[in-house]
Structure 1
């Protein structure tokens, strides 16, 4: 889905570097322990969609794990656009990472530790059209999401559970994983939030289900309500997923992804549903405005 390399410059702690010369210490706690946060954004025709939402969530996540954000939101916005300009990118995938910084051995914090902030961007022209026309398959995996942990709601660098979940789904012949929480209710997909449709009502796992509060999720809820559709955020038992009329996934890179089967069982008519298509088109229009 990424076009060419399209990454000549990366941004580290205020400075631009050639990508092949960019360096972070091997003793950085992000590398050593996954001690940090990341955000993934997408730009359309040079505009970073929902940049404020992403940077606000970054700030809340950093606060949760006790890292002081070294830069203001206004400054980071300016620098993200500077990086896009330096790489002559219009349609891009942008990743912003903040680590606790270089530390001593062991997990104790060091006084006056200086966080490292890294931003890179690559040319990204979206997923192939067939994904939206045909839909994808998902598999419920054995990895569980801890709905009682505050870490479930942040985009931690320690992404191992979601990585293994994706591996399990792929090994089972599916495109994506569905992760349940400790109460056997739907939490999220490996890199997306989950929505279902039943008799014209849109249902999505509540924040208390142990999910990341997705930026695209929030946009979709807003758009659905604009159309006068009923949206319910609640605990979503596994069996309700299987009896859905439609299922779709949302994230910043894909937008709205239709799901046509769960664990090999056809959802609805086994094709992308009408509300899914409506919200996909509406999201694209919103992003391109």
Structure 2
């Protein structure tokens, strides 16, 4: 495979990533004023491209960024970056900020051109559902201290970064967040599923959590194969007592959680529901 760091797309041009330059007056740099997406791919095949593009459009609309680039062109950019990187296990990162202005002010400037940036990077190989291939994770829990529009995939990720670092500093892989009522929202970089009394449950979508594309695909695939999934409240206590807990994201797919706050979940190993979900996801993720 060629060096995946070699090519980037920036405002209509393909160039070496090391040569990509964005103005320090760009509002993405100054304010985190932008939207991003990460689309996974395996062997050159993108997963959930249409859903990722729709979520990006929704985010751009929500914060009032207007772009003229069409989804087909985004697909072509992704394809070219993947081909240049060897079409392996890759994620394509798209980042659209409001653009650069000569004046730093909080209000939206008029008549500036959005900055569009993309590059490809390595992600873990695809899962199979076999227990021996499971990438198990250990997590801690923490009160969710982020802003109240977490359904927008904003580039303003400091809150998520601090929560992730909280887990890392305790030697854990992730941090699962709960609100002031003790209800689970999501993890710092993943959505959360739990198996409670033989029911697969994931927190319902609202402004407290991101509408994850892998979350969406997992729900759709399981339901299409007659495996019920409930979108409902999950409390912190229920999570700790769950038979299984999973984390989902575009680059991690479905990861079984084997301990929370130092206590094992279920048997402390990937469970049978995870095996079923991961097997179905591996077989059908390109179909949606």
- TM-based fold match above 0.5: yes
Change (3 A) 1:130 1:176: farther
Deviations 1:234-289 (A, max 9, x none): 12211111111100010011110000111111111111111111111221222367
Q: Confirm or deny: 8 A CA contact 1:132 1:257 kept in the other structure.
A: no
Q: Confirm or deny: 8 A CA contact 1:101 1:116 kept in the other structure.
A: yes
Change (3 A) 1:44 1:178: same
Equivalent residue, structure 2, for 1:191: 189
Provide structure 2 residue ranges, at least 5 long, that are not aligned to the other structure. Answer: none
Supply the distance in 2 between the matched residues of 1:134 and 1:87 (Cα, whole angstroms).
25
| Among candidates 21, 30, 33, match of residue 23 of structure 1 | 21
Q: Confirm or deny: 8 A CA contact 1:44 1:287 kept in the other structure.
A: no
Supply the distance in 2 between the matched residues of 1:139 and 1:221 (Cα, whole angstroms).
25
Supply the distance in 1 between the matched residues of 2:88 and 2:267 (Cα, whole angstroms).
37
Size of the alignment, in residue pairs? 284
Equivalent residue, structure 2, for 1:177: 175
Equivalent residue, structure 2, for 1:39: 37
Change (3 A) 1:232 1:130: closer
Equivalent residue, structure 1, for 2:107: 108
- In the TM superposition, 1:149-160 aligns within 5 A as 149=148, 151-160=149-158
- In the TM superposition, 1:202-213 aligns within 5 A as 202-208=200-206, 210-213=208-211
Query: Quick check: 1:243 aligned with 2:241?
Result: yes
- Taking only aligned residues, the RMSD between alpha carbons, in angstroms, comes to 2.1
- In the TM superposition, 1:49-198 aligns within 5 A as 49-103=47-101, 104-126=103-125, 132-133=133-134, 135-146=136-147, 149=148, 151-198=149-196
Q: TM-score, normalised by structure 1?
A: 0.92
Supply the distance in 2 between the matched residues of 1:68 and 1:15 (Cα, whole angstroms).
20
Aligned-pair distance for 1:77? 1.0
Deviates more, 1:263-272 or 1:57-66: 263-272
Deviations 1:23-43 (A, max 9, x none): 110110001110001101111
Q: Confirm or deny: 8 A CA contact 2:36 2:153 kept in the other structure.
A: yes
Q: Confirm or deny: 8 A CA contact 1:5 1:122 kept in the other structure.
A: no
Q: Confirm or deny: 8 A CA contact 1:126 1:253 kept in the other structure.
A: no
Supply the distance in 2 between the matched residues of 1:286 and 1:73 (Cα, whole angstroms).
23
Provide structure 1 residue ranges, at least 5 long, that are not aligned to the other structure. Answer: none
Deviates more, 1:17-26 or 1:228-237: 228-237
Equivalent residue, structure 1, for 2:227: 229
Q: Confirm or deny: 8 A CA contact 2:217 2:285 kept in the other structure.
A: no
